[in-house]
Structure 1
Amino acid sequence: MQIIKVYVGGLFGIFNHEIPVNLNDRITIIHGPNGFGKTVILKLLNGLFNCQYSELRNLPFETFKVEFDDGNYLEIDKKTGRQDQSNTIRFNFSKNSETFILDKSQINDIDEISISDLDYLIPELMRVGPQRWRYLPTEEMLSISDIVDRFPDLLRGIKCEQQPEWLQDLQRQINVRLIESQRLLNIASNYERRIAYKRLSDLSTVSVYSRELAQKMQHKFTEYGTISQSLDRTFPLRVVQQQPSTYLTDEQLYDKLDHLDKMRSRLMEVGLLNQDESSEVDIHPPSIDETTKNILSVYVEDMDKKLSVFDDIADKIDLFRKIINKKFAYSYKNIGFSKDQGFIFTSSYKSSLSEYKQVLNHELCPTDLSSGEQHELILIYELLFKVKPDSLVLIDEPELSLHVGWQVEFIKDLQEITKLAKLNIVMATHSPDIIQDRWDLTVELQGPK
């Protein structure tokens, strides 16, 4: 199921906006003057489908309607009607005429079991009273409402359990992810934070994602090893059982071997294979007799199965590398990859001090990247590696972290990403440099008529 249209009425008590979602091009750009509600629309979508109902409570609108490609719709009604309904939010789902009424005064409530678990869920909180906590990193005093608003992702499961099954099922079918513009710091895992004596451990998001990618690469390499062992174990038997009618022609075998060479080279370039791990692919006999043809026919089939394990992650790393290195080239930086480290950043430039203009290379730390470079890397990584296929991704004003040269290329980069990762993008922007000549992707927010 996919979202095809969004409508918000009574926004700020003034605006009524309708946004059709462009599923063909997979990119929808919302633009309009400041104060017309671009960011609010993204927050409403994120709040609704990620169970962050404090957004629905706090944002100023009367009705919010989402239409789906199966002909159904979900409408949120916050209009104050009768006196006894002034504090409620009504969810109306057209399928089976389902209705759910949420009391706005209860949106921030957490049951007693959840309260007892807060120390585990959020180790930086110290309980100082029946309904009061101190947040150690900032020494702020927080209430239950403050905690729910500040840590919606950690408490999402608690809140979602309080709603009807039909709404939970709808939220499971519609994956929505908000990509925030300021994501340079990342909170370490609960375990790491607890070890740090309840002190906040701020890690560079780039460093966290580097470790995460290394783990993904190692996982794929383990899968590759498992498949290799299974195929190698039965290889002799399958060679013996191979029928001459199934042999490939000499030309087909050479083509297959060349293809395997290209696959191996590509996997080495993106750090998924090392030279010693891929050397077995390099087989090019000068001539092929029947016995060799028998063996190679099974061999190339096996190698294709082994290496195809990497196809998806290799495609993503390859595109990630292409986009990032194109942008980093101006500052003489480069990104590479390895199963052990994840990202490997290097700086390469010609020394003006050397008579021969020697090219100097040295490795960089993630923190050596500029804030703009980190923002761009984080955004592209999240789109390629952290969002499920067919998700709706919300991006708010990406130009805030992009210089003009990068803005010009942004839509082209998104088009490549959405095609590979199968994502739909709804983006709010002021920047004509981002839009370029793609005004066909835009929806303009207008004032009341």
Structure 2
Amino acid sequence: MTTLRSFQVDQLLGEFNHKIHFNAEKEFVILHGPNGVGKTKLLELLSATLSFDIFRISEVQFAKLSLNFDDGVELAVTNNSERSGSSIDLTWLIKGGKFGSEGVQSSFQIPLDDIPPSMLREVEVEIRQMLSVDAAPSAKFRALEHSGRYLPASARATRMFGKRLGLSFEEFDVRIPSYLDQFSVHMVETQRLLILDRNYEGARRRPGESFPQRMKVSECANDLASRIATALTENSTVSQEQDKSFPRRVLDQSTDHAVPSEGTIREAYSAQSLLRNRLSSIALLEESMDVPLPPKELIDWQKKVLWTYLEDSQKKLDSFTDLLTRVELFREIISSRFQFKRMLIDRKAGFRFANRRGDFIAPEQLSSGEQHEIVLIYDLLFEVKPGSLVLIDEPEISLHVAWQLEFLEDIRRIASVSKFRFIVATHSPQIVNEWWSETLPLNATPSESE
């Protein structure tokens, strides 16, 4: 798998140069520095570039971004856009590795001032469709959503308008976005508690009305309920297949030699009993194995039936393994942080909480600090694709100092399950804790060109 080795930005915010080396043998790096040197903007720019999101790239003030990958490929994005934000003018150069020493160069030029706000989204979507790129809405469009100034426009009108402006990207070399398609980047932004309801029917919105907002913590609970339901459905399918062939396999004389010793059978039975108890505790099973094996020695037919049953059960239970690992770690981390509440995993609710009196508490009724912890941990455990580069901006927001001290160790445990590397930008020495050897300072030294 190709990984990012280093990246450098010139004239970030118009004056700062930063170079970050990401050791391939390390699972994370920590960025720190004073306010105003561009930690957040650096992460946003890196995320937008790896996602090939030209609109979000253009929203960051910089001169050039250079990325180096461990397959020898170098990617440079030069920003020629006007600082007024009236246009997008980006030049892409990719070389080295399979692209050779000369490489491939292409450009985007989009006059934003000539695009009415009512058509900004359609132009953005049109560009992504032409280049087969799927990315989140840009900050410019998100601002239009918040302000309620977005008006729908037909795709036909967009194409006609784009043609009049000369917005054609047929000559852009698709090998550039195709190369970036292999990377998955996951940005954890500072605003993590609210999400816009973009599924809200546009026809129901009044002029000037913004999209409704939903609580992210409630979405996490609903998502877990959905994942549990999916796991149960998949398990049911596996169970039906195994149950249909169970009698045949029990009666099949050719498998007699495959039956292990009684000690092995008893060990497997005990291990499955423990696994069922774990699954029952997170609502994936309604009952545990409560029928003990007889203490006397098993006879041959009993061993064969039991072993066939245990093999079937293991195949059924294996369908829960990944979800079990993630839910248990999620519950363990949250339970270790919440002193006065108990987390309950529920098939219908996903998760909820109970106080020391036994009263139930909905996730959205938790404090902002508790919600931040839940949303962040859940996001990293359940939403990150394996092999992703995760960018975490100011994880200390609303977190108690004691929680900050444990943060990196928690994320390292999650990263081992979800299989990702990560970059953290923070002001907090408590977040860094014992990991100062993994920190890189972003100095406030102005660029030489200024």
Q: What's the TM-score once normalised by structure 1's chain length?
A: 0.81
* Shift in alpha-carbon separation, 1:116–1:3, aligned structure 2, 3 A: closer
Distance in 1 (CA, whole Å) between partners of 2:369 and 2:300 is 59
- Structure 1 partner of 2:40: 39
Distance in 2 (CA, whole Å) between partners of 1:102 and 1:441 is 37
Match of 1:237 among 248, 251, 272: 248
- Structure 2 partner of 1:445: 442
Structure 2 residue 154 is matched with structure 1 residue 141: no
- Structure 2 partner of 1:216: 227
Q: Which amino acid aligns with 1:373?
A: E
1:30–1:444 CA contact under 8 A, matched in 2: yes
Structure 2 residue 426 is matched with structure 1 residue 414: no
Distance in 2 (CA, whole Å) between partners of 1:236 and 1:48 is 57
- Structure 1 partner of 2:320: 310
Distance in 2 (CA, whole Å) between partners of 1:283 and 1:179 is 48
Percent of aligned pairs with the same residue? 32
1:186–1:208 CA contact under 8 A, matched in 2: no
- Structure 2 partner of 1:69: 70
Listed one character per residue, the Cα deviations across residues 140-196 of structure 1 (whole Å, up to 9, x for unaligned) are 53589xxxxxxxxxxxxx999995422332232111111112222223351x54596
Listed one character per residue, the Cα deviations across residues 234-291 of structure 1 (whole Å, up to 9, x for unaligned) are 011111225222111111001100110111011111221112xx44x74523231100
Q: What's the TM-score once normalised by structure 2's chain length?
A: 0.81
Structure 2 residue 392 is matched with structure 1 residue 380: no
Instruction: Quote the offset at 1:224 in angstroms.
Output: 0.5
Listed one character per residue, the Cα deviations across residues 67-124 of structure 1 (whole Å, up to 9, x for unaligned) are 112111211112589xxxx973111111421212111536996997974999xxxxxx
2:33–2:427 CA contact under 8 A, matched in 1: yes
Q: Which moved more, 1:236-245 or 1:411-420?
A: 236-245
- Structure 1 partner of 2:393: 396
Match of 1:178 among 187, 191, 196: 187
Q: Which amino acid aligns with 2:182?
A: Q
Match of 2:267 among 248, 252, 255: 255
Match of 1:399, SS? coil
Distance in 1 (CA, whole Å) between partners of 2:67 and 2:291 is 55
Match of 1:93, SS? strand
Unmatched tracts of structure 2, length 5 or more: 126-140, 153-166
Q: Which moved more, 1:202-211 or 1:428-437?
A: 202-211
Distance in 2 (CA, whole Å) between partners of 1:116 and 1:91 is 20
Superposed counterparts of 1:17-96, under 5 Å: 17-78=18-79, 88-94=89-95, 95-96=98-99
- Structure 2 partner of 1:285: 294
1:51–1:159 CA contact under 8 A, matched in 2: no
Structure 2 residue 345 is matched with structure 1 residue 337: yes
Distance in 1 (CA, whole Å) between partners of 2:364 and 2:25 is 38
Q: Which moved more, 1:430-439 or 1:32-41?
A: 32-41
Match of 2:237 among 226, 245, 251: 226
1:51–1:160 CA contact under 8 A, matched in 2: no
* Shift in alpha-carbon separation, 1:159–1:16, aligned structure 2, 3 A: farther
- Structure 2 partner of 1:206: 217
Distance in 2 (CA, whole Å) between partners of 1:49 and 1:435 is 26
1:179–1:396 CA contact under 8 A, matched in 2: yes
Distance in 1 (CA, whole Å) between partners of 2:286 and 2:169 is 45
* Shift in alpha-carbon separation, 1:107–1:175, aligned structure 2, 3 A: farther
Match of 1:251, SS? helix
Match of 1:45, SS? helix
Paired residues in the alignment total: 400
Unmatched tracts of structure 1, length 5 or more: 119-132, 145-157, 349-359
